[in-house]
Every structure is written in C-alpha cells, then in structure tokens.
Structure 1
Amino acid sequence: MTQTAPIPPQAQSFVDIIKEPVFVVPEPQVSTSTTPALLEELSSVDRLFITKRLRVKSVLFLRGKKNRFYVRTPDQNLVYSVEEDNSWWVGYFCYGLRPLQLRVTDSRGSEVMRIHRPYACTARVLPCQLQRLEVFAPPGQRIGTIEQQWTVVKPLYLVRNEEGEVVFWIKGPYVTISCFKDVKFSICRSDGSPVGGTCKRWQGLTHALFLSPVTDRFGVAFERDLSVQEKALLLAATLLMDYMYYDA
C-alpha cells in the first residue's frame, strides 16, 4: 500500500505569479563566495520563463521524441538550455511518462545540472508507481528529489533536499487541462506558507489545436531569497509538471 506524507494546510493564493516580462535595468548584484559557481545564475532571480521546443528532426528520422527547453529571466536573458536524452523508442510508446535524462547547460555551454527520471507507470486513480525525479548539481552530486504523492483528486508533489527533508509541497488544481484558462500549481513550504507557483498560460485555440505538440511556454515564480539549490529543485519540478500533464 502506498503511504503518503501528511498534507499541510491550504496555502494562500500566490497572485499573478507568472506575468509577461517587464524590461527593467537590473540593479548591480554583489557576488558572494558562498554561492556555488555552477548555479550563480539563479541567485538573484525570482521568476523563470521556459520555452519548450520539440526536436522535430529526431521524430522524423526515428531517433526518438525529444524536447529542448530554453530557460530565461524576466528580462529575456537566456540562462539555461535543457536537452532531453532518452532511448529512441520510449518517446513513441511511453509519451509523457517516458524515462529520460535532462542535461542543463549554462550560456557558456557547461553542464551545471542533470535531472534523472526513471520509468514509472502512473495513473491518477490506480497508480502502479509514482513519479520521482533525482536532481544533480553539478552532475554526480545529488541536491534533492521530487516525489509524487498519491491523491484521487488534486495532484500533489513533495520536494526533498539532499538530506531527504521535505522543503516544499507542490499542489495542482482539480483540472489540469489548459482549456481557455491558465493552469497554476501552488508551491508552499512544509508548514503551508506560500513560496510561489508554476503557471502554464492559455495561448489561444489555434495554438492548442496545432502548435502545442511542437512548442509551448510556461514558467515558475518563487521567493528571491531561496537558495540556488532550492530554486534548481523548483525548476526541475516545473519541467516534471510539463511532462506529466502537457507533453503530447
């Protein structure tokens, strides 16, 4: 029998967590020696905008279904590129549940983070297995995991740090289909206090019918004073939400 961790009290709404980018002149930041160099791009941000692109050539030439993600700040600076790596056949049969590795590289081309997702057969009512992501930054050094909890109605995930302690809960809505409205997942601490959220914007009927399998946009917002490791875990969780509910 699958055991679930206790659910914290309902968090308050994190209003307008993902808005259109506003171009402002950033204030100068003072670097500190305590910030890991590989994740320093996350130290001063409180929002990340993600664009997904399906690698069409891989599909056409039977090399597998693979995505590429571009992670930008609100002022449209590219901070990370994310490449999916999987076996050529899993994308055609497993769809959004496929096992994979995501390699995260910075603007200099250095790999700063790796996300590992094993295969897990998941259904909302009768889950055979629950989803679990392992996040490594740098590759080879685990900083935490994202674990799905079994629920009948609302999606629920917990985020653990490298010591196995629960640092965040991620709660989804009753309906996760993006149909004429935005879909938001709230992020709160283990005590129920809100920290941020993820958002998938409704981009219109034309996009939903013809373009969403090839390209999409979503984002995540969080408190600025979170550690870079915590922000990296929330970025990984946001990518998992996309695979779970919106990857065709």
Structure 2
Amino acid sequence: MMSAVDQVISAQPESGEKTTLTADTDAGGYQPLGLKDLTKTNVLRVHQYLDVLEVLLGWERSNRYQICDADGKQILYGYEVGVCLARKVLGSSRGLVLKFSDNESQDVISLHRPLRCSTRCCWMCCHLQEMAIHSPPGTPIGTVREIWSCGAPVYNVYNLKEGLLYTIVGDCCHCRACGDVTFHVYEGPREKEDKVADLSKHWTGCRDIIGAANDFSLTYIKDIGVKDKLTIFGAVFLIGFNYFEKHCRC
C-alpha cells in the first residue's frame, strides 16, 4: 500500500527541468524561482481534500491541500508530514509539518507547528500556538504567533529579527454557520487604514458540519513582497487548525 507521501508525489505533474530556489542574497534579495506563479497573483485559494476514509472510520489522516490562483489554476500542492498516533490521540492540537511543492514536484515551502496546548483558560500555564515558515524548506523566513486575548482572536506575524510585520484580527465569533468567517491582516499594529490582506474561511455545507475539510481564500489588498506573502500564507493553516479542525479538539 502506498504511503500518504507517495500518493502525494504520484499525484503531481511529471517534472521537467528542475528550478533552483535561492534564499536571501546580498545582490538580488529574495528570489524564489520555484514560486514564480505566486508573484503573479494577489488571490490564493486553499482547498483541503475531503478524505472519505477519515469520515467513515473516524481516523484522522494526513491533510492534503490544493493551492490555486484566482482563476482556479493549481500553483502549489501541500501535504502533512506527521506521526499517525499523534493525529489520532492529539487531533487538531498535534505538532506537524506541512510541505508544499510546485507543479514540477519541487518542495518550495514548509510550515512547522510545534506541539502545544491549545486551551486559552490561563495565559501563564498555556503555550499559545505558533507556525514557522520556511522557504525554501530548511530556510526560515518568518513566524506567526497566536496572541492571548479574551475576545477576538489575534495573531502577530514576525520576520527573522522578531520585528512585528503584521497583525491578524478575527471576529469574536469564529464558528458562524452558513456563512464565511473573515480575518483581517493589518500592517504593524492594528490600524484599519493599513489593512493589507483578508483571510476568509468559506462555508462548505456538509463538509463544514463534519469538520472533514476546509476551504480558505487569501486576498492581498496591497502589493507586498513575496516573503511577506508567504508568511501570511502560513497563518492560514495555523488559524485553520486552531479554529476549524474539529477532530479531537482540546
């Protein structure tokens, strides 16, 4: 039987000549050759595949994602790398790694989420969630961290020097039925006139009710750099696991 990773790789288009990712350079800055399609779009649509076996058996399986542009063209394919037992026992609170490859089957992004308690009853005894973004894999470019709040969910986006880049703020009610839930991304501290992106979790009917798969869209309102786009992109999955994965919730 093929493993989840083998299935993912076999589902990719056949690769031609491989491109090479380069990280920061003194001369050219950040040049993600494997992410050239990302630089051309201001809308990313994240579709999580519905796993029928997971629904029927109640056994949490590795998540798989399709990332498309505004026209529905696939630009990235993502899959979860993790321990089977952790998925079953810890559910949405599990630590994990998400890997994303381009249409040439080359890994271009990886997201790293450590295992942490997800309860918010006490700031002093709980570790809030965070996600580290690497592009290319193995080269960190930023971090998204959950900020404790007693009302609307808040997340901060940091660069490698721990400088605050963006603040993500959601609605107080993030379990709205029959409607989309939107998180707003602001530059620096929260200022309405400095909004740079909107992150929306879409209502998908029965898929939402059973909590088996989620769809998101990320719309960049302002023209920002590729690094910043990728870091905000990582926030989509951290927020998804925190609020919209229903299996074995803490």
TM over 0.5, yes or no?
yes
CA RMSD of the aligned region, Å?
Answer: 2.2
Q: What are the residue-to-residue correspondences of 1:217-228 with 2, within 5 Å?
A: 217-223=215-221, 225-228=223-226
Q: How far is 1:116 from its partner?
A: 0.6
Choose from 120, 125, 135 the match for 1:124: 120
> Whole-Å Cα distance in 2 between the matches of residues 102 and 43 of structure 1?
21
Choose from 16, 35, 53 the match for 2:49: 53
Q: State the percentage of identical aligned residues.
A: 24
Deviations 1:193-235 (A, max 9, x none): 101111112233x4433xx433331111113521111111111
Higher helix content, 1 or 2:
2
Q: Which residue is equivalent to 2:98?
A: 102
Evaluate the alpha carbon distance shift between residue 48 and residue 61 of structure 1 in structure 2; reply closer, same or farther with a 3 A threshold: same
Q: How far is 1:54 from its partner?
A: 4.4
Task: Work out the number of aligned pairs and report it.
Answer: 213
Q: Which residue is equivalent to 1:21?
A: none
| Alpha-carbon contact 2:100-2:109 (below 8 Å) kept | yes
SS, match of residue 115 in structure 1: strand
> Whole-Å Cα distance in 2 between the matches of residues 47 and 36 of structure 1?
18
Q: Which residue is equivalent to 2:155?
A: 157
Q: How far is 1:176 from its partner?
A: 0.6
Q: Which moved more, 1:48-57 or 1:104-113?
A: 48-57
Q: Which residue is equivalent to 1:37?
A: 33
Are 1:70 and 2:66 counterparts?
yes
Deviations 1:70-119 (A, max 9, x none): 00001111000110011111111222111000011001100001111100
| Alpha-carbon contact 1:186-1:197 (below 8 Å) kept | yes
> Whole-Å Cα distance in 2 between the matches of residues 163 and 37 of structure 1?
24
Choose from 55, 75, 93 the match for 1:79: 75
| Alpha-carbon contact 1:44-1:224 (below 8 Å) kept | no
Q: Which residue is equivalent to 2:187?
A: 189
Q: Whose relative contact order is higher, 1 or 2, with alpha carbons under 8 Å and at least 6 apart?
A: 1
| Alpha-carbon contact 1:50-1:217 (below 8 Å) kept | yes
Q: TM-score, normalised to structure 1's length?
A: 0.79
> Whole-Å Cα distance in 2 between the matches of residues 143 and 60 of structure 1?
39
Q: Which amino acid aligns with 1:243?
A: F
Q: TM-score, normalised to structure 2's length?
A: 0.78
Q: Which 5+ residue runs of structure 2 have no aligned equivalent? A: 1-27
State the 4+ residue runs in structure 1 displaced beyond 2 angstroms: 33-36, 54-65, 124-127, 206-209, 212-216
Q: Which 5+ residue runs of structure 1 have no aligned equivalent? A: 1-32
> Whole-Å Cα distance in 2 between the matches of residues 60 and 100 of structure 1?
23
